[in-house]
Chains A and B, each alone.
Chain A
C-alpha cells in the first residue's frame, strides 16, 4: 500500500467523477434539490391542503329536524358550515363530493332534549376524504358543545351543581421539549432519507469506477501501471466514500435549510398542519447523525465497489444493485414504524441500528452506550466489506470475469 499513489488515484478519480454528468446529478443535484423538494414541499403542500380543508365552509345536509326548529336554528347560526336543502340521495351526493357530510336527526329532536331523554343522531361522511372528515369534525364539535350545554341545563333545572356529571378532569401535559415532540413526527424521516442518499450517492460512482472501467477498456491500462491493487482499490474506494458522504452532507444541509424555510412558511397555517412542520434539528444532532453515518457510508461504498466489480457489464451491475436498494430501504422503513425502539439486539443490526440511533439523536436523546455499540458494530461491518472489496480486486477471475 502506497499512500502517495492512493492520493494520485483519488485525485484523478475525483476529477473524472466531477466531469461525469450522471455522477454530478446523483451526488450533488439530487440531494440539494430533488429530495428536499420531494419531501418538504410535498409536506408543506399537504399541510396547506389540510389547512384549507379546515378553513373551507363545507356544504352540509340536515336530514329530518323539520319538527325541531331550535337545533336547526343553532346549526344555521354556524358560520363554518353551509346548510343545503335535504335530498333523499344525500349518501350519493357525499360520494360524489357535492356535499361533504349529512346529519340525520331523529323525529322530535327538540322535544327529546327538552324531556331530558337521549337523542341519537348520525353523521354521514366519506371516510379518509380530507374535506369530508374536516366537515364531520366540525359537526362533532358542534354536537359536543350542544351536549355539554344540554347537560348543564338539565343540572341547573334540577338545582344540581354543574360538576355533578364531571367526576374527574383529565389533563394531558407535554413535558418533552419542542424538538423532541417534532422529532417524533419528522425525526424518523430524516435518517431514512439520509441513509438512502448515502447509498444512492455512492451507487453510480462505484459502478463507473469498476465495471465502467471494464466496459471502457481502461482496467487493463491501469492494471499494467506500477500501482498495487490494494492502493488502486483504496484510491477508488475513497472516491466512492467521498461521493457518499458529500451526498449525505449536502442532503442534511439542504434539508436543514429547507426545514428552516418551511418553518417560516407555516405562519399562515392552522395549528394542525403547523405542528408537523415546525421541526428543529440542532447543529449537535446534525454532527452526531453525520458521525453515525460515516461507518455506514464506508460499508455502502465498499459493498457497492465489490458488487459492481463482480459484474461483467453496467447492466449486470444495475441488476445486482437494484435489489440492494430494497435491502437498505427495508430496515430504514422499519425504523420509522411506531413502536420500534432501540435496544441492544437491534444495535447490532446494520442499517437499522444507524437509522434508529439517528432518529433518537434528531429528537434530542443520546443513549451513549448504544451510540458506542452501534458505531463499533458498524465499523466492523464496514471493515469486513472493505476487506472483501480489496480481496476481489486481487482476483483475476473477477477483474476479467474469465
Chain B
C-alpha cells in the first residue's frame, strides 16, 4: 500500500530561486491496483516517484510505503519497493546474473537465496540464455528484462515505475506493460508515471493528472470521462491542465 500525504518538494535553483517541483500531493494506492500519474514533461512525476522511493527527501508532507514512513524509515520503505525507470541503468561491467544477485544481497538475501531467486526469475523472464553476458553487451530489450528481474529479486509488495516505456521499441514496451499487469495480478501495489495516454488508459485503475507539481484531477478512467464529458483521455487531460 502507498499513501502520500501532502507531499511537497522544493528545489533551490541558481538564478531562478525556489522551484516547487511537487506541491501538496496526496493520493493512495492499495494492493492489486495500479495508480497512474499522468503528466507532461516537467509536471513533477519523476520527483514525486523519487520521493516515494526515498531517493529524494520531501520538503513537506510525507508518505507511507508498505506501512513505513518515508521520513522515519526510508531504508525499510526501500526494502519494500521495486523501482524501475529508464534512468535506473545496470552495471555494464557486471553480468546479468551478478547484477541481480548484487541487488538481492543488498535487499538482505544471503548469497544462496539471492542466487536461487535470481535463477528462478531468469527462467520466468527468459534471461537464462544470456545470464553470463555483461550488461554492456546486452540489447535494450534484454537490459529491460534484467532490470525487471532486479526490481523483483526481493519480491517487494510495492512497485514504482517512472516512465518505464520511455524510449523503448514496441516489443520492449509490451514486455514492460505485461510485467506491470503481472504485478497487479500478483497483488502488488503499483504506482507508475507516464505521459502516454493510451498506456494510462490501458493499465491504470486510478489516474491522477499532475501539472506544475500539483494533482489537478483523480479517478478511474470512467469517473474522469463522466466528470469531464469526454471519452478520450487526451481530451480530458488537455481540459484539466488548461491547455
Contacts and interface: CB of A to CB of B under 8 A. Distances in A.
Interface residues of B, number: 33
A141 to B, nearest CB: 64
A8 interface: yes
B87 A8 contact: no
Interface in A1-41: 5, 8-9, 12, 15-16, 19-20
Contacts of A227: 75, 106
B118 interface: no
Interface residues of A, number: 23
Interface centre among A16, A223, A225 (most CB of B within 10 A): A225
Contacts, number: 68
A218 B91 contact: yes
Contact of B102 (A8, A223, A224, A400): A8
A220 B55 contact: yes
B92 A226 contact: no
B94 A218 contact: no
Contacts of B103: 225
A396 interface: yes
Nearest to B108: A226
A218 B135 CA distance: 12
B188 interface: no
Contacts of A223: 55
A228 B56 CA distance: 13
B91 A16 contact: yes
Interface string A49-65: 00000000000000000
Contacts of A9: 106
B98 A15 contact: yes
B13 interface: yes
A221 to B, nearest CB: 4
Given A12-B102, A20-B93, A221 B56 contact: no
Given A15-B94, A224-B83, A217 B89 contact: yes
B90 A218 contact: yes
A24 to B, nearest CB: 11
23 contacts: A8-B105, A8-B106, A9-B106, A16-B91, A19-B93, A19-B134, A216-B89, A216-B91, A216-B92, A217-B87, A217-B88, A217-B89, A218-B90, A220-B55, A220-B89, A224-B54, A224-B55, A224-B81, A226-B76, A226-B78, A226-B79, A227-B75, A402-B13
Interface of A: 5, 8-9, 12, 15-16, 19-20, 216-218, 220-221, 223-228, 396-397, 400, 402
Given A15-B98, A225-B107, A397-B11, 12 more contacts: A8-B106, A12-B94, A12-B98, A12-B102, A16-B94, A19-B93, A224-B54, A224-B81, A225-B78, A226-B78, A226-B107, A227-B75
The 4 closest A-B pairs by CB, nearest first: A217-B89, A224-B83, A226-B79, A226-B78
